[in-house]
Amino acid sequence: MERKRLYEIIERSEDNDKASAAYDLFMILVIIVSLVPLAFKNENAVFKAFDKVSVVIFIIDYILRWATADFKFGKKGALSFLRYPFSFMAIIDLVSILPSLSVISQGFKLLRVLRMIRAARVVRVFKVIRYSKSFEIIGNVLRSSKESLSAVCALAAGYILVSALVVFNVEPDSFDTFFDAVYWATVSLTTVGYGDIYPVSTLGRIFTMISSVFGIAIVALPAGIITAGYMNELNKNKNAETEESEEEKKSE
């Protein structure tokens, strides 16, 4: 099999490419099967077999993608092969493999959750799936709104640090470490409020009320930005479809 055809099968799925669609579906199933053991505390022979088989498949997939990296980046030569291991999805692939290969894999068990991120890549290129267009729209929204979302994230991080510093000094008896204060500020920002750590003094409670009100406003900002961007993308797609239909009518 030619490398170009191999790249087309493993990297992108066209609507009429049955081999590529079958490969994408197969990888989705393997990813799902590899995640089943994570839902159980105890491991058994079947789960270990699932893990071994799935990691072998992941390794083969990683090698095939690395071997066709020049087609992915549109460049010939060794530069593409050197660049691929440092790409985002290649790092995710590698991290999802390493825990199963390590002799101390139990310590890396949580890293196996990153295999779920692999599914995003497969679904993204699986165009025949009904929801693939929605994923594409969401990706466009995040890219177009990255500056606004970055500003909100910076604002939230600043809010958490400032709130943590204030409450850590106002309530020294309630918070043993600064990390406890950061944890409290994060929980307050998201309005979760577990109640395991909380201020007890009057001044601390007043500050908690004030910070909670501002926290609600900060949490609401990303939702508004993403919603507005999503609606804009839907309108763009709708206008594009309308223009295409009009052009087809004119050509007829």
Between helix 45-67 and helix 3-11 the angle, nearest 10°, is 130
Task: Give the number of other CB atoms < 10 A from CB of residue 82.
Answer: 10
* Mean per-residue pLDDT over the chain, rounded: 77
| Global pTM value | 0.55
Q: 125: pLDDT confidence band, cut at 50, 70 and 90?
A: very low
Task: Give the number of other CB atoms < 10 A from CB of residue 206.
Answer: 12
Q: Classify residue 108 as exposed, middle or buried by CB count within 10 Å of its CB (0-12, 13-18, 19+).
A: middle
pLDDT at 71 over 80: yes
What are the sequence ranges of the domains in the chain?
Answer: 3-129, 146-251
Could you read off the pLDDT of 135-149 as tens digits, one per residue?
Answer: 667 777 878 888 888
The CATH class of 146-251 is mainly alpha
Could you read off the pLDDT of 33-54 as tens digits, one per residue?
Answer: 877 777 777 778 888 888 788 8
Q: How far apart are CA 124 and CA 77, in angstroms?
A: 27
Look up the CATH architecture of domain 3-129. Answer: Up-down Bundle (1.20)
Same fold for the pair 3-129 and 146-251: no
Q: 186: pLDDT confidence band, cut at 50, 70 and 90?
A: confident
DSSP letter for each residue of 208-244? HHHHHHHHHHHHHHHHHHHHHHHHHHHHHHHHHHHHH
Give the chain's length.
252
CA distances from 159 to 28, 118, 182, 202 (A): 39, 33, 10, 21
pLDDT at 133 over 80: no
